[in-house]
Amino acid sequence: MKMLPETQLGKWSVGLTIFFILLIAAFIILVLLGIVTFDDGHWWDATVGIAFPAEIIAFLLAFMAVKKKKDQTILVYVSIFIGICVILFILFHSLFIND
């Protein structure tokens, strides 16, 4: 099994997943440095508003790459796994967190 995607759908999927991870990591680093907080302003809302739709699109593209284009690479499957985690987070968020 290869590591890098072979199809255009797979490459877009992996690229959007990397964008998602970098955006969330940048926010966490800014929180750890004390530059932004969860309570002050709407930084988390803006981050999630950009990152989560990007990962859902990445999930759909990865799913299409596997099903239609037969792209059987590791990073495409990682993109699917992260997409499933994001979707589950969105669905279960309101059950456990009271904003």
Domains of the chain: which residue ranges?
8-94
Report d(CA 8, CA 4) in Å as an integer.
Answer: 11
SS3 call for 35: coil
Question: Is the pTM of the predicted complex or chain greater than 0.85?
Answer: yes
Q: What is the pLDDT of residue 28?
A: 95
Report d(CA 82, CA 76) in Å as an integer.
Answer: 10
Tens of pLDDT, residue by residue, the chain (99 residues): 899 998 999 999 999 999 999 999 999 999 999 999 888 778 888 999 999 999 999 999 999 999 999 989 999 999 999 999 999 999 888 788 776
